């Protein structure tokens, strides 16, 4: 008899078919976001769960689902997992890193360029029927080529973003918890390590790519925005909560920075409605990794983690290695 698995959100049919070879499935192709109470009910007797960041896996949940052995998110971010709680209850937690790096870097550039050149603002104006003639000063934006690109968080995605700057003849500066080695800096477009204050002060275009943690909450807030150029743009493709959205709205309203491009928000999808009153912000619904090939690759990686756990192997993307001391997996 196959062990039971909950697929907590809608997913590609080919992923469902692949999982059906290993598990007895409970699907959610209606894509309902389950409450904790609903998750607890559906996880009874389940070996594992395939999920996204909408599923909060914490002590409250885990204490009520003793059969659960593995949770696998199709995302790279895992701030919805309480890893200490997972370890305490002997549950392996896994994610799906790396396969989205290049796609997400592409989107960071798309968002940065749309923000700098006022693309969505101009399109909305055109669609509203206001275009009657060419004008020398219509929608004057900021150049990208030849400017300074700042990257806050120089992990794999940050380095992929930096590599793309070569074709735009940009100076690349970055701030990270630790400096990259010289060869990695060279591969990342000749990126130059600077302190956070210099990054904020010198960047013409600043892209935020740090993972979310309690320490990173409101890493960009009122004080940091005040250090940026009034002509600068800010792009956040990392996680909601890293940027203080209320402070950013005030900065955009008062033109203390020129514009922002946001793919993630605090409390998403219920984001701050103040953004909708602004013309100098580009808004997208958390789609940085949303290409067909990449989202499928992410889902397949999550499946590989589940199958490894089922077969008694260490999942390739295990997040809480300490859990191995509580399980029979070596």
Give the tens place of pLDDT for each residue, 295-314. Answer: 999 999 999 999 999 999 99
Backbone angles phi, psi at 241, to 5 degrees: 100, -20
Give the tens place of pLDDT for each residue, 195-216. Answer: 999 999 999 999 999 998 889 9
Give the tens place of pLDDT for each residue, 69-81. Answer: 999 999 998 999 9
CB 315 within 8 A of CB 76: no
Give the tens place of pLDDT for each residue, 4-45. Answer: 999 999 999 999 999 999 999 999 999 999 999 999 999 999
Give the tens place of pLDDT for each residue, 226-277. Answer: 999 999 999 999 999 999 999 999 999 999 999 999 999 999 999 999 999 9
Domains of the chain: 4-97+292-326 (3.40.50.720), 101-283 (3.40.50.720)
Q: Taking 90 as the threshold, does the pLDDT of residue 325 lie above it?
A: no
DSSP3 helix / strand / coil % (the chain, rounded to 5): 35, 15, 50
Instruction: Report the alpha-carbon distance of residue 256 to residue 258 in Å, rounded.
Output: 7
Instruction: Report the alpha-carbon distance of residue 22 to residue 5 in Å, rounded.
Output: 9
Q: Taking 60 as the threshold, does the pLDDT of residue 330 lie above it?
A: no
Give mean pLDDT, residues 147-160: 97
Assigned token pair, 225 = 């925005």
- pLDDT at site 83: 97
Q: What is the pTM of this model?
A: 0.92
- pLDDT at site 127: 98
CB 143 within 8 A of CB 273: no
Helix axes 156-164, 101-116, angle to 10 degrees: 50
Q: How many helices (H) and strands (E) does the chain have?
A: 12, 12
The rounded percent of the chain whose pLDDT value lies above 70 is 99
Identify any residues that bridge with 31 across adjacent strands, giving them in sequence order.
none
Q: Which residues are catalytic?
A: 239, 268, 286
Assigned token pair, 263 = 């793919």
DSSP 165: G
């Amino acid at each position: 008899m196959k062990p039971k698995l909950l697929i907590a959100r809608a997913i590609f049919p080919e992923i469902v078919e692949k999982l059906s070879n290993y598990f007895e499935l409970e699907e959610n192709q209606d894509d309902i976001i389950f409450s904790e109470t609903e998750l607890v009910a559906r996880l009874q007797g389940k070996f594992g769960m395939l999920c996204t960041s909408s599923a909060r896996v914490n002590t409250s949940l885990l204490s009520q689902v003793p059969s659960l052995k593995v949770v696998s998110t199709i995302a790279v971010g895992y701030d919805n997992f309480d890893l200490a709680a997972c370890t305490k209850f002997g549950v392996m937690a896994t994610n799906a890193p790396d396969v989205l790096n290049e796609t997400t870097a592409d989107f960071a550039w798309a968002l940065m360029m749309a923000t700098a050149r006022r693309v969505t603002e101009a399109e909305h104006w055109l669609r509203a029927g206001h275009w009657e003639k060419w004008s020398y000063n219509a929608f004057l934006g900021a150049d990208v080529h030849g400017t300074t690109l700042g990257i806050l968080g120089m992990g794999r995605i940050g380095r992929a973003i930096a590599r793309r700057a070569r074709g735009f003849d940009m100076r690349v500066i970055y701030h990270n918890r630790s400096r990259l080695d010289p060869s990695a800096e060279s591969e990342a477009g000749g990126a130059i390590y600077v302190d956070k204050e210099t990054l904020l002060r010198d960047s013409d275009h600043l892209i935020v790519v740090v993972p979310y943690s309690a320490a990173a909450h409101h890493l960009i807030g009122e004080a940091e925005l005040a250090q940026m150029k009034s002509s600068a743009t800010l792009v956040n493709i990392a996680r909601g909560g890293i940027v203080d959205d209320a402070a950013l709205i005030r900065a955009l309203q008062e033109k203390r920075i020129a514009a922002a491009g946001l793919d993630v928000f605090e409390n998403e999808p219920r984001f701050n409605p103040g953004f909708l009153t602004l013309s100098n912000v580009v808004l997208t619904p958390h789609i940085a990794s949303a290409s067909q090939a990449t989202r499928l690759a992410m889902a397949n990686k999550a499946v590989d983690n589940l199958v490894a756990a089922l077969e008694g192997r260490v999942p390739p993307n295990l997040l809480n290695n300490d859990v191995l001391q509580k399980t029979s997996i070596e």
